[in-house]
Structure 1
Amino acid sequence: MEDVGSDGGKSAPVRRRAVRREAVENRARLLQAAREVFAQRGPDARVEEIAQAAGVGMGTFYRNFTTRQALVDELVADVRHRLLELARRARGAQDGTGLERLLRDAGRAQARDPGYMQFLWSRSTVEQAAVDEFLVLLADLLADAQEAGRIRPDLAATDVWMTLWSLRGILEMTRTAAPRAWQRHVDLMIAGLRARPDGDVGLTTRPMTVTQARRCIQEASH
C-alpha cells in the first residue's frame, strides 16, 4: 500500500523516487533527442532544438548538462565505447574472420543509429583511451585476417579505418530510398580487401599514417 502523509499526499520517500525517475527519463530523452537532431541538422544544431525535441524546457536541459559540450562529450563517450565493444567481440572470431565481422557489425550499428559515426572522432577528446584500444584491436584483426589469407597483405590498419569511416556517407545517401543498400556495399568493400592472386600488381600508393587518418576524420567532422 502506498505511503501517504498526513495531508493525504505521497510520502517524502515516494516523492523522491518519483523525482529521481523523472530525472532519469528526462536525461534519456535528451540524449536520444540529441542523437536525432544532430543526425538531421549536423553537429552545430542548437540546444534549444534538442530540448524541444525531447519535450523538456531549457532548465531541465541545463540541470542535466551544464554546457552543450557536456552533452556532446557524453554522446561521444557512448559511441566510442560501443565501437570498442564491437571490436572486442570481433576479436573472438576464428579463422581470421573478425575484421569482416567488425565491418558488418559497425554498418549495422550505423544503420540503427544515424548519428553513430558522426560523434566517433569529432569535437571531443573524451575516452581517447577507447579510441586507442580500438585502433590496436583493428590492427590485430587485420593481422589475423592477413595471416589466414583472407585479406591482401599490403593493407594497413588505416586503410581499413578509412573504409569503416566511408560507410557513413553510403548510409546517409541510401537510408531513405534503400535502407539495406549498405549491406551490399560492405560486401563490395570486403571483396576489395580480399587477398589477390600472385599476379596482382599491388597497391601503388603508400597508406596514410594514423596521425594523417586522425586529422582527415577530424577535419571531415567539422
Structure 2
Amino acid sequence: MTPEAPVPSRPLRRDAVENRDRLLAAANQVFDEQGLDASVAEVARVAGVGMGTLYRRFPTKDALIDALVHQILDITIEMATQAATEPDGTGLERFLELSSAYQAQHPGCLPRLWNTDHAMVRKARRRIADLLAEAQHHGRIRPDLTNTDLTLVMFSIRAIVATTRMHAPDAWRRHLDLLIAGMRPGPGELGHPPLSQADLDRILTRA
C-alpha cells in the first residue's frame, strides 16, 4: 500500500496569531518585571486571555520561554546583520551597543539566551564572529580577542543591568565604554588564554 502523503499543517487563524502575539508580548513584560519565576497565570492576565488559550498556544511554561528566547535570538541576529553594514570595522562596537541596550530593556529571558544548543544560537555566534574578524582586520580590536571573550563581555553587561537597573538604569553604558576601550589594540598579548567554546558551553549549561 502506498503510504499517504503527510497532511500539511494549516496556518493559524488570525485570532490565534493575535492571541499568540499578545501572549508573547505579555510574557516579555511580566518576565522583564518579575523574572522567570513569574507565573503563567500572570502572563495570561496581562494578555487578557484565559488559561485555556495560553495552554493551547504554549502547553508548558518552558514552551513559552523557548518561544521568547527564539524571538530574542532572531532580534539579536538582525542586530548583528544591521551592524555589519557599518564602515571600517565599526560594526562590532555598534552591535555591542545595540545588544546591550536591548538587554537593558528586556532582561527577563536573558538567563536562558545562550545556554542552549540551538541552531539560532550558532547562527548568532557566527554573525558576531564575522563582526569581530572585520574589526580586527581594520585594526580597531586587538588581534588576540576571541568570540568567547565577546560572550563573556555580553554576560558582564547583563550582570551590570541586573544589579543597577532599578537605581541607575544607564550604568551599563559606561561599563561598555570601558570594555570597548580594553579591546583596543595594545602592546603585547593578553596574559591569560581565552576560554574554549566547549568550556564556555559547559559553563553556560550550568548557569
What is the TM-score with the length of structure 1 in the denominator?
A: 0.79
- One-letter amino acid of the structure 2 residue matched with residue 217 of structure 1: L
1:215 paired to 2:205: no
Listed as ranges, the gaps of 5+ residues in structure 2 are: 1-12
Assess if the C-alpha contact under 8 Å between 1:117 and 1:165 holds in 2. no
2: CA distance between counterparts of 1:26 and 1:134?
Answer: 28
1:192 is aligned, of 182, 185, 188, to 182
Equivalent pairs, count: 195
Assess if the C-alpha contact under 8 Å between 1:152 and 1:193 holds in 2. yes
- One-letter amino acid of the structure 2 residue matched with residue 86 of structure 1: M
Corresponding residue number in structure 1 for 2:112: 119
Assess if the C-alpha contact under 8 Å between 1:150 and 1:194 holds in 2. yes
Listed as ranges, the gaps of 5+ residues in structure 1 are: 1-19
Deviation string 1:16-74 (CA, Å, 9 cap, x unpaired) is xxxx6654443233212222332344334332232233333211211221222221221
2: CA distance between counterparts of 1:25 and 1:104?
Answer: 31
Corresponding residue number in structure 1 for 2:10: none
Identical aligned residues as a percent: 47
1:100 paired to 2:93: yes
Deviation string 1:170-209 (CA, Å, 9 cap, x unpaired) is 111222212222211111110011111x3x4x31211011
2: CA distance between counterparts of 1:160 and 1:215?
Answer: 16
Assess if the C-alpha contact under 8 Å between 1:109 and 1:116 holds in 2. no
Which protein has the larger Cα radius of gyration, Structure 1 or Structure 2?
1
Corresponding residue number in structure 1 for 2:129: 139
1: CA distance between counterparts of 2:94 and 2:177?
Answer: 11
1:58 paired to 2:48: no
2: CA distance between counterparts of 1:216 and 1:42?
Answer: 21
